[in-house]
């Protein structure tokens, strides 16, 4: 895969920084996006400090980052999800959008609570329009895995509004050092997003932070 410019909007959180770190190691140009430029720059500098081998991460405001990117990744809290989609809808065009958002509703985050659209990714698709290539991925990967150089023994389920969209996302999953699986059409994102609440519940029950999933039985 050619090196891409990947904008991680709302990327100042741990998940966004983890994905940025992994993609930067793979040679992609990464933009950490935030509402506040200063916060974005600080997050980019934090990720740069994790490994002397990377220099291809910068911080920008969310809209500016979306304008210049080849790929847009949404890692915002669900409360900011619809406003973010509205903010960028005029600059997305036919770009690839990866939605990592999970519709968690505090305080009951271990309870699956889907929005009226069916899932966060389906909500984003409605706002951004039918010409956008959009899919869901990375909802079930803990940031503790991403912010290391170790092999990640978890899989990533990928849904999307076309097979070509899912194929593109799977390539980016693999460049981040993970195994991606085609989990079908965008409607299946309800399952992918809902699994996060299940994993949060397992984490709490067993006193861990990084429960994940693996697909077995396929050679």
For 53-84, write each residue's pLDDT tens digit.
999 999 999 999 999 999 999 999 999 999 99
Q: Could you give the strand order of the β-sheet that contains 71-74, starting from the edge strand earlier in sequence?
A: 57-61, 29-34, 5-9, 71-74, 96-99, 133-136, 155-160, 179-185
Q: Measured between alpha carbons, how far is 148 from 171 in angstroms, rounded to an integer?
A: 20
SS3 content of the chain, % helix, strand, coil (to 5): 40, 20, 40
3-state secondary structure at position 159: strand
CA–CA distance, 189 with 192 (Å, rounded to integer) = 5
Q: pLDDT digits over 138-186, tens only?
A: 999 988 889 888 888 899 999 999 999 999 999 999 999 999 999 999 9
pLDDT, tens digit (0-9, with 9 covering 90-100), for 78-102? 999 999 999 999 999 889 999 999 9
Q: Which domains does the chain have, with CATH numbers?
A: 5-206 (3.40.50.720)
């Amino acid at each position: 895969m050619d090196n891409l410019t990947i904008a991680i909007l709302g990327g100042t959180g741990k998940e966004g920084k983890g994905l940025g770190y992994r993609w930067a190691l793979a040679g992609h140009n990464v933009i950490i996006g935030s509402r506040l430029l200063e916060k974005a720059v600080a997050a980019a500098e934090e990720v740069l400090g994790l490994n002397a081998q990377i220099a291809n991460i910068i911080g920008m405001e969310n809209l500016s980052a979306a304008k210049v990117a080849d790929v847009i990744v949404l890692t915002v809290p669900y409360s900011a999800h619809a406003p973010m989609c509205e903010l960028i809808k005029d600059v997305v065009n036919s770009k690839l959008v990866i939605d990592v958002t999970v519709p968690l509703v505090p305080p009951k985050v271990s309870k699956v609570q889907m929005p009226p659209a069916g899932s966060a990714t389906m909500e984003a698709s409605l706002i951004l329009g039918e010409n956008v290539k959009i899919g869901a991925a990375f909802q079930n990967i803990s940031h503790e895995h991403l912010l290391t150089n170790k092999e990640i023994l978890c899989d990533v389920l990928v849904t999307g509004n076309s097979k070509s969209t899912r194929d593109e996302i799977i390539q980016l999953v693999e460049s981040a050092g993970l195994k991606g699986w085609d989990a079908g059409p965008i409607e299946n994102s309800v399952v992918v997003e809902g699994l996060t609440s299940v994993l949060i519940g397992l984490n709490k029950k067993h006193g861990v932070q990084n429960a994940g999933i693996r697909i077995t039985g396929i050679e």
